[in-house]
Amino acid sequence: MNTLVKSGGAWLLSPSLAVVALRKMRVSALATSSSSSFPKWEGGVSMVQGASRGIGLEFVRQLLGNNEKGYVVATCRNPKEATSLSDLKNRFSERLFIQKLDVTDETTIEESAESVRERYGSLNLLINAAGILSIPSVLQPETTLNKVEKSSLMLAYEVNAVGPILVMKHMWPLLKAGGGSGTEREVAVVANLSARVGSIGDNRLGGWHSYRASKTALNQLTKNVSVELGRRKDPVVCILLHPGTVDTDLSRPFQKNVPEGKLFTREYSVQKLLHIINNAKKQDNGKFFAWDGQEIPW
């Protein structure tokens, strides 16, 4: 258990508590330094977390390709292995900044926030796109209670729920500083990729315990933050997005049961999601939207 320890007659923070205290100081410092003294970037500054493949990569492509202006920070665990991002960097060298960020390692989140602060001073959009559903020999969607494992529950929760909330925590001062400046929106947007299966009210099939529960947790955490930022009157709205069933590595092992016409391309899904993001208003804060703009019950 983390406690105070006595050293030479004085009470000191244990190493783990000292790390937590240092992180709080860094977030506070970032909030103080992210101010109007930084330039406002025409077209805005967007961050896509989980950008090396799938939906995240497509967000980066469309954010850069659909607009002549604006900057994108693309983060992933292993930038050196992200060949598709490197190709985009060659095309958009002045507008794309690739950054290491692992949602299971808070130090990398802090370092990414500091790099963005030094480079841009603010953010106008944060998209949390990273997520896990299955990993061969490690994690598989549970079709029955007998297959539930503690390790699967914890891993899904860490990546799908804890990671995004920590990214929001460290990027919040930058989003507050940016608001809607440089964009056509009046506010900055946090868009967390959730899933319809995370809806409790819409759950009629059961199963997929780890994935469902982790997305439900993400929904609650995002709603909590939206309430807090609304109370603070920060120029930031938080929304949750269900992209539909998209043809990516995440869904590929489970596509055989998808009805005809319901398996979307990445291009189509992201186009729809960006329409929701670009038209987000203050009154949308804390809402859960499907790809077609319809609200999903909690």
Q: Are 27 and 169 in contact (CB under 8 A)?
A: yes
Q: Is residue 84 pLDDT above 90, yes or no?
A: yes
Which runs of consecutive H residues, i.e. helices, occur in 34-135? 54-65, 83-91, 106-119
Q: Is residue 28 pLDDT above 80, yes or no?
A: no
Which fold is adopted by the domain 45-290?
Answer: Rossmann fold (3.40.50)
| DSSP state for residue 159 in the 8-state scheme | I
Q: What is the pLDDT of residues 147-164, one digit of tens each?
A: 999 999 999 999 999 999
**Buried b / exposed e across 34-54, counting CB within 10 Å, b at 16+?**
beeebebbebbbbbbbbbbbb
Question: How does residue 141 score in pLDDT terms, banded at 50, 70 and 90?
Answer: confident
- The tally of CA atoms less than 13 A away on the side-chain side of residue 16 is 3
Q: Is residue 294 pLDDT above 90, yes or no?
A: yes
The two three-digit tokens of residue 41, written as one number: 């970037």
CA distance 102 to 47: 14
Identify the pLDDT of residue 16.
60
Strand partners, 193: 241
Tell me how long the chain is: 298
Q: What is the pLDDT of residues 159-218, one digit of tens each?
A: 999 999 999 999 999 999 999 999 999 999 999 999 999 999 999 899 999 999 999 999
Its pTM stands at 0.86
Q: Is residue 230 pLDDT above 80, yes or no?
A: yes
CA distance 2 to 254: 43
CA distance 237 to 175: 10
Rounded to an integer, the average pLDDT of 286-290 is 98
Mean pLDDT, the chain, rounded, equals 89
**Buried b / exposed e across 127-141, counting CB within 10 Å, b at 16+?**
bbbbbbbbeeeebbb
Domain boundaries, the chain: 45-290
Rounded to an integer, the average pLDDT of 2-10 is 55
CA dist 99 → 8, 27, 49, 111 (Å): 42, 19, 9, 9
Q: Is residue 21 pLDDT above 80, yes or no?
A: no
Q: How far is CA 15 from the centre of its chain?
A: 29
| DSSP state for residue 4 in the 8-state scheme | E
Identify the pLDDT of residue 229.
96
